[in-house]
Chain A
């Protein structure tokens, strides 16, 4: 069986009929840098047509632009970031971020780190990790552009976060994943099921380490842009059964996750996860975890 057929059959088994999708470019207004401006209005004045994303407070889709939205004065001043709509969801799921100690465990290139700082109003502390040193320059560039002041960045594998000898109130695990076909037109040609299994194993290791550094009443938000259940529901089912976590109810865009995956019955609380099939956004998965 061809790779593409293999994956498409799996999606159908999960209740989604495959169709080709091209996600729309989106931006997120950085409120700490907006300086009181209506950034959307300023962009409209430049000839950039925007559409408010209904499920995001500060998100807009680009309807039409005469030039790159990554080359405006407003962008360079950090007033907004280019961030895909679904990718804007995870950071918004934490409760009361202000003043907290937050771990962004797989941070580069930094879109979500900047969003966390924005939601925290530059208060508290963000510890941002990434294992690849060459990606840290991109992260640093974003932090400087967006005037982030509350973040410290380390070149460190998320699986070794205990080395920091810290406990975190909130942990964002936007883990390395296999991605999805909507965000990569070569995805079916590039990806194999072995990649998915390898990533799922890595993700479990990151989840396990996150629990070691989570404060007693802390929250973990776990997300991937993978549609493969091994990296999503099956990993969270494993985390519930193995790591003593529970899945919190969340209110955000997306469908309830299935609790039966390829004939395997999962914990009922897995339905609190959100699965986003490609359409208005790229494919995505997100959930919020706490100690049981």
Chain B
């Protein structure tokens, strides 16, 4: 079922709170965000006008709430990445590949930082082409350390493969 209006407000707040941890704000139209079994989708007006309430997937998948924690989609990260002011860490080729394989980031792999460098903040991870590979949590103030693991991997695009493997194993 679609989220009730109150549910929608709560949903959008989950998403807004998540986005703010990247140092920016994005306004989502509450009326265009729908919920299905704890998964959240952003619809354009055309989809909104014809969708039935027993859909499985629709529009842009934004993420899901599990145990009161919002787990974003890669789509949402791509939306955040379009904002010039969002926290971003650019990494070299080797670090990009390791990150996609689920590994954390070492300071030596970072080539450029935009936005926050502060411990505890979220940051997007981008490759040398400026493509968003996922996001992580800054573990240590990025200006204060010379080496070691500095960003913990939370979600990366390699998740698509891991999901598919898991599905095939089931």
Q: A residues bordering B, Cβ < 8 Å?
A: 35, 37, 70-71, 73, 76-77, 101, 124-125, 133-134, 136-141, 143-145, 147, 149-155, 164, 166
Partner of B131 from the list A35, A140, A153, A166 (CB cut-off 8 Å) is A35
Roughly how many angstroms separate A196 CA and B164 CA in the complex, as a whole number?
Answer: 30
The answer to whether A144 touches B54 (Cβ under 8 A) is: no
Contact of B47 among A35, A76, A144, A150 (CB under 8 A): A150
For residue A37, give the distance in angstroms from its CB to the closest CB of chain B: 8
Report Cα–Cα, A151/B133, bound state, in Å: 24
Mark B155-170 against chain A: 1 for CB-CB distance below 8 A, else 0.
0011011011001001
Task: Give the interface residue-count category, chain B.
Answer: 20 to 34
Interchain CB contact under 8 A, A152 and B167: no
Residues of B within 8 A of A152 (CB): 47, 50-51, 55, 57-59
In the complex, the answer to whether B75 meets A136 with C-beta atoms within 8 Å is: no
- Nearest chain B CB to A221's CB is how many angstroms away? 22
Judge whether B161 and A70 touch: CB under 8 Å. yes
Q: A149 to B57, Cβ gap below 8 A?
A: no
Q: Is B11 an interface residue (CB 8 A)?
A: no
- Give 10 A-B pairs besides A76-B160, A154-B52 with Cβ atoms closer than 8 angstroms: A77-B157, A101-B50, A139-B57, A140-B56, A140-B61, A144-B160, A145-B157, A147-B75, A149-B60, A153-B57
Cβ contact within 8 Å between B46 and A73: no
A153 proximity list for chain B (CB < 8 A): 55-58
Tell me if B58 and A77 are in contact (CB < 8 A).
no
CB contacts (< 8 Å) of A164 on chain B: these are: 52
- From B73, B78, B131, B161, contact of A71 by CB (8 A): B161
Task: For B156, give the chain A residue with the smallest CB separation.
Answer: A76
Distance (whole angstroms) from the CB of B166 to the closest CB of chain A: 9
- Determine how close the nearest CB of chain A comes to the CB of B125; give it in whole angstroms: 12
Interface assignment of B28: CB less than 8 Å from any CB of chain A: no
Are B157 and A73 in contact, CB atoms less than 8 angstroms apart? yes
Does residue B44 face the partner (Cβ distance < 8 Å to A)? yes
Q: Decide if A141 touches B160 in the complex (CB within 8 Å).
A: yes
| Residues of chain A lying within 8 A (CB to CB) of residue B157 | 73, 76-77, 145
- Enumerate chain A residues within 8 angstroms of B50, measured Cβ to Cβ: 101, 125, 152, 166
Q: Which residue of B lies closest to A136 (CB)?
A: B56
B133: which A residues are within 8 A, CB to CB? 73
Check B74 against A145 for contact (C-beta < 8 Å): yes
The answer to whether residues A143 and B51 also contact, given A35-B131, A71-B161, A137-B167 and a CB cut-off of 8 A, is: no
Which residues of B sit under 8 angstroms from A73, Cβ to Cβ? 96-97, 100, 127, 131, 133, 157
CA distance A123 to B65 in the complex (A): 29
Question: Which of B44, B56, B133, B164 lies at the interface centre, i.e. has the most chain A CB atoms within 10 A of its CB?
Answer: B56
In the complex, how many angstroms separate the beta carbon of A13 from the nearest chain B beta carbon?
A: 39
B-chain residues with CB within 8 Å of residue A140 when the two chains form the complex: 56-57, 61
Residue of A nearest to B97 (CB): A73
Minimal Cβ-Cβ distance residue in A for B39: A140
Shortest C-beta distance, B31 to chain A (Å), equals 17
Q: Return 19 A-B CB contacts under 8 Å, by A number.
A: A35-B131, A37-B129, A70-B161, A73-B96, A73-B100, A73-B127, A73-B157, A76-B100, A76-B158, A124-B46, A125-B46, A137-B167, A141-B163, A141-B164, A147-B60, A152-B57, A154-B52, A154-B54, A154-B55
Q: How far is the CB of B95 from chain A (nearest CB, A)?
A: 12
- B61 surroundings in chain A (CB, below 8 A): 140, 143-144
Task: Indicate if the CB atoms of A138 and B164 lie closer than 8 Å.
Answer: yes
Q: Which residue of A76, A136, A154 has the most chain B CB atoms within 10 A of its CB atom?
A: A76
Which 5 A-B pairs give the minimum distances between C-beta atoms? Answer: A153-B57, A76-B157, A152-B58, A140-B57, A153-B56
In the complex, chain B residues 19-77 whose Cβ is within 8 Å of any chain A Cβ: 44, 46-47, 50-52, 54-61, 73-75
Measured CA separation A166–B163 after assembly (Å): 33
Q: For the complex, what is the distance from the CA of A101 to the CA of B96, rounded to whole Å?
A: 39
A150 B100 Cβ-Cβ under 8 A: no
B47, A143: Cβ atoms closer than 8 Å: no
The reply to whether B57 and A136 form a contact with Cβ atoms under 8 Å apart is: yes
